[in-house]
Amino acid sequence: MTDVQIFLDGTQLAGMPQLSSGLNGNQNGTVTVGGNTSEGNSFQIADFKAYGSVLTEDLVREAWGLASVPEPAAASLGLLGLAVMMMRRRV
């Protein structure tokens, strides 16, 4: 059992005194938060990662592979370049 703190977007949502798990690598498993394991309530989480410390915004982007969105000017220049290349091929 380990003390656990839960953060969402850098804000602490909860601190819980117990965390036990039956996770096995990339396999399915169970995680129990809190002390009541007989309640039987269940839910599914699609992408869950656990870390031993609080992550900065840059570390979150790196961990989840979040790419930055290109600014509109870069997209416009890219489309302009593509249009010029297509016009040159027609000539």
The dihedrals phi and psi of 5, each to the nearest 5 degrees, come to: -120, 135
**Same domain, residue pair 4 and 29:** yes
**Same domain, residue pair 38 and 76:** no
Express the helix, strand and coil content of the chain in percent, nearest 5 each. Answer: 30, 20, 50
Give the pLDDT confidence of 34-87 residue by residue, as tens digits.
556 566 666 666 667 777 777 787 887 777 776 666 677 877 888 888 899 888
Categorize the per-residue pLDDT at 16 as very low, low, confident or very high, splitting at 50, 70 and 90: low
**Same domain, residue pair 7 and 29:** yes
**Same domain, residue pair 39 and 64:** no
**Same domain, residue pair 61 and 48:** no
Report the DSSP pairing between strands 19-21 and 31-33. antiparallel
Domain of residue 32, residue span: 1-52
As for how many domains the chain has, the answer is 2
> Who contacts 68 (Cβ-Cβ below 8 Å, separation ≥6)?
61
